């Protein structure tokens, strides 16, 4: 992977409305507007979060960011190869002086209005499989779910009914089939607990961007048992293709094996420093 000619595109605006995009360069403007970003993603149903700081936005740009339910997408990469690294809603905006410049700090959550606000009502009198229930809940949220390759769906024998917050309904149905859900870049991902979304494998090695030595960690179980699992904390140059719940082969002098991306933090500044990902890798299981 060639980690040079770093590029980004930040777009913002109300869903379905008019917004703006910054980040493109040209011979007349070889350096894009100054941006700094710090993003945090995890494999749970809690919202991913991020902070993006941009210098010298126009008054019109700032006004757009302050609109209700403003959506933000950030793409980053190298040359013409960019990928979506965050998509969500603006939760906070602050503009202040920074010396001779002006900086705008934007806090974002990887959420949608559907996840945040939607109440759903579903009811089935007879035996029903979990998948159509999940499809129906997602449809009421305005989302199309993405299921992992190995997801299996249990039959609920005596019917099923639920009225309440959509996220609580997802929790209840997923529990019947040993599934978990999360929102990643605006996509509702539903997968087998402990598994990956696909069987596609990304290679992480010193040749593909691995930085330094993987660090072994012990992770306590969130259940009432005293079970612990082994994971590895790794750092690598930004790869927009690698996301939470992806399948990854780690190759280093210290450890080699196949793992699932459990959490990932992405940080960078287009004026100084490297664009880096810090991830926690766990063994694939179910």
User: In this structure, are residues 14 and 76 in contact, taking their beta carbons and an 8 Å threshold?
Assistant: no
User: Cα separations (Å) of 60 from 20, 56, 68, 192, 242?
Assistant: 9, 11, 15, 44, 34
Buried b (16+ CB within 10 A) or exposed e, 57-75: beeebeebbeeeebbbbbb
Q: Which of 237, 240, 239, 249 is nearest to 281 (CA)?
A: 249
Pairing relationship of beta strands 179-184 and 187-192 according to DSSP bridges: antiparallel
Question: Cα–Cα distance between 278 and 265 in angstroms, integer?
Answer: 5
Q: What is the pLDDT of residue 2?
A: 58
155: which strand partners? Answer: 129
Q: What is the pLDDT of residue 222?
A: 60
Question: Cα–Cα distance between 91 and 124 in angstroms, integer?
Answer: 37
pLDDT tens string, the chain, 286 residues long: the values are 556 789 999 999 998 888 999 999 888 888 899 999 999 999 988 889 999 999 999 999 999 999 999 999 999 999 889 999 999 999 999 999 999 999 999 999 987 666 767 899 999 999 999 999 999 999 999 888 999 999 999 999 999 999 999 999 999 999 999 999 999 998 999 999 999 999 999 999 999 999 999 999 988 766 544 567 889 999 999 999 999 999 999 999 999 999 999 999 999 999 999 999 999 999 987 5
Q: Which of 163, 162, 187, 6 is nearest to 82 (CA)?
A: 6
Q: What is the pLDDT of residue 286?
A: 56
Q: Which domains does the chain have, with CATH numbers?
A: 6-112 (2.30.300.10), 114-192 (3.55.50.30), 201-282 (2.40.30.150)
HEC assignment per residue over 217-260: EEEECCCCCCCEEEEEEEEEECCCCCCCCCEEEEECCCCEEEEE
Q: What is the pLDDT of residue 3?
A: 65
Q: Which of 177, 175, 219, 182 is nearest to 197 (CA)?
A: 182
Question: Cα–Cα distance between 192 and 178 in angstroms, integer?
Answer: 6
pTM for this entry: 0.91
User: In this structure, are residues 213 and 51 in contact, taking their beta carbons and an 8 Å threshold?
Assistant: no
Q: What is the pLDDT of residue 110?
A: 86
End-to-end C-alpha distance for the chain, whole angstroms: 32
């Amino acid at each position: 992977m060639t980690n040079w000619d770093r590029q980004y595109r930040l777009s913002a605006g109300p869903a379905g409305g008019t917004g703006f995009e910054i980040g493109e360069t040209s011979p007349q403007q070889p350096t894009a507007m100054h941006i700094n970003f710090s993003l945090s993603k995890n494999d749970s149903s809690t919202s991913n979060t991020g902070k993006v700081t941009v210098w010298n936005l126009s008054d019109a740009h700032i006004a757009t960011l302050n609109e209700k339910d403003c959506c933000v997408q950030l793409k980053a990469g190298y040359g013409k190869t960019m990928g979506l690294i965050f998509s969500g809603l603006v939760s906070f905006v602050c503009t202040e002086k920074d010396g001779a410049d002006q900086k705008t700090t934007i806090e974002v959550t990887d959420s949608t209005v559907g996840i945040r606000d939607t109440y759903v009502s579903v009811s089935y009198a007879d035996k029903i499989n979990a998948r159509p229930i999940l499809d129906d809940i997602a449809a009421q949220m305005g989302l199309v779910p993405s299921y992992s390759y190995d997801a299996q769906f249990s039959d609920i024998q005596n019917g099923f009914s639920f009225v309440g917050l959509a996220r609580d309904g997802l929790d209840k149905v997923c529990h019947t089939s040993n599934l978990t859900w999360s929102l990643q870049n605006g996509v509702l991902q539903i997968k087998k607990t402990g598994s990956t979304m696909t069987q596609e494998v990304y290679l992480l090695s010193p040749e593909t961007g691995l930085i330094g030595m993987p660090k072994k960690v012990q992770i306590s179980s969130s259940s009432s048992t005293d079970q612990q699992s082994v994971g590895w904390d790794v750092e690598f140059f930004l790869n927009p293709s690698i996301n939470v719940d992806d399948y990854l082969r780690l190759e280093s002098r210290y450890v080699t094996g196949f793992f699932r991306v459990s959490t990932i933090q992405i940080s960078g500044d287009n004026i100084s420093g490297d664009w880096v990902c810090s991830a926690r890798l766990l063994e694939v299981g179910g």
